[in-house]
Structure 1
Amino acid sequence: MPAPLTPASRRLVVAGGLGGLALAVTGCDAVDRLIGDSLDSGVSPAPGATVSPTAPADDADSALVDKVVAVLSTTAALATQVGTQVPALARIGARLARLHDAHVRELGGTPASGTQSPKVAAGRGPARNQLLAAEAGLQNQLVAAAQSAQSGALAQLLASMAAAVAQQRAVLG
């Protein structure tokens, strides 16, 4: 029968970890220099050019962003109007309008200045239902936009916005 293993001391484990880390860092730098030198083709970007792995979205994504900004602005205007016309829903309307305005800014747009005046259903219940239906529609449009985005970063941003709307809908339930 083999002899039982003796437990390693704390000092031995820490020293071994630090030694391994030092070896890994040194080794990575050496490999980096080796690979970097062999792969260097001598071609470099023009001075002042920006090179980024997450390049700006193409024209299809630009059109998609414009469409999403318009939908967000319309829904924000409805939320603001519901909050203004139905005092019992003022807090909910203001919260949703702030959320949508923040999303518009994140996409590079400018929040609507209140020039739009959507028609709001009369009464607390119908106005709340109208607002919740608009939020459900917005969520579906954000999900569809995330699925059709060409840029991964844009798709993640739109999906995050859809999740934020879904969370607010769940709270308002």
Structure 2
Amino acid sequence: MRHPLPSLPRAAATRRTTVGVALAGLVVASGCDASRDGSNDGPGVSAAEDPDAALVDRVVAELTELAGLAASVAAAYPRLQSAVRPFGDLHAAHLEVLGAEPPSAGADRGSYAGPAAALKEVRVREQRSQRRLVDASLAARSGSLARVLACMSAGAAQRLARLSPLPAGEEA
């Protein structure tokens, strides 16, 4: 007689944990790619030799700008904080994985034509960035970096799917 295996309690994996584990894999895997050209100049790859350095720099610049946008909109329209803060948190986590400093907390208050326009600006720029992350994942020469960029794109797509427009007539 076969006895069924007892079911074990499943650990709840949060989106942040999942992205963090995927991104940590990049850090670990990047050490394995240190000397693919056969040279024995020592461990690590200098930025001059890394074919993906310029790509990572572009992604970091865009994520930094988007994190600033989220902070700016949240500062200008406090009622939009719950809508835009997840984008800022996501970009800060992605910047950390890419080895970049998260943006400083100070945010300018930008000039927007109102909360709906500010939210639309966030949506449009996040959508563009999400598509560029897909393109960057295809352009990456490192398979590990490509996977991380694809995960970042998926995270942005999830956040965009949850971003609701303001109800008609409501001001933030």
- CA offsets 1:40-74 (integer angstroms, 9 cap, x no match): xxxxxxxxxxxx64436752201111110010000
State which of 88, 99, 114 in structure 1 corresponds to 2:90.
99
1:161 aligns with 2:135: no
Spell out, residue by residue over 1:73-131, the C-alpha distance to the aligned partner (whole angstroms, 9 max, x if none): 00000011001101221112222101101000000000111466373422111111001
CA separation of 1:118/1:69 partners in 2, compared to 1, >3 Å: closer, same or farther?
Answer: farther
Given candidates 40, 51, 62, the residue that maps to 1:60 is 51
Q: Structure 1-normalised TM-score?
A: 0.65
Q: Equivalent residues in 2 for 1:61-76 (5 A)?
A: 61-76=52-67
Say if 1:146 and 1:158, in contact at 8 Å, map to a contact too: yes
Supply the AA of the counterpart residue of 1:66: D
Deviations 1:135-158 (A, max 9, x none): 101101111110100000000000
State the superposition RMSD in angstroms: 2.3
1:85 is aligned to: 76
Find the aligned partners of 2:111 and 2:91 in 1 and give their Cα distance. Answer: 18
Residues 1:70 and 1:118: Cα distance change in structure 2 (over 3 Å): farther
More relative contact order, 1 or 2 (CA 8 Å, 6+ apart): 2
- CA 1:158/1:84 → structure 2, altered by over 3 Å: closer, same or farther? same
| Aligned pairs for 1:41-52 within 5 A | none
Alignment partners' CA distance in 1, 2:56 and 2:109? 22
Query: Could you say if the C-alpha distance between residues 118 and 140 of structure 1 is closer, same or farther in structure 2, counting changes exceeding 3 Å?
Result: farther
Aligned to 1:39: none
Q: Residue 147 of structure 1 contacts residue 155 of structure 1 at CA under 8 Å; is this kept in 2?
A: yes
1:121 aligns to what?
Answer: 112
Aligned counterparts of 2:138 and 2:111: Cα–Cα separation in 1: 31
1:81–1:120 Cα contact (<8 Å) kept: no
Among all aligned residue pairs of Structure 1 and Structure 2, give the percentage whose two residues are the same amino acid. Answer: 38
CA pair 114-59 structure 1, distance change in 2 beyond 3 A? same
Give unmatched runs, 5+ long, in structure 2.
Answer: 3-30, 35-43, 165-172
What number of residue pairs does the alignment pair up? 125
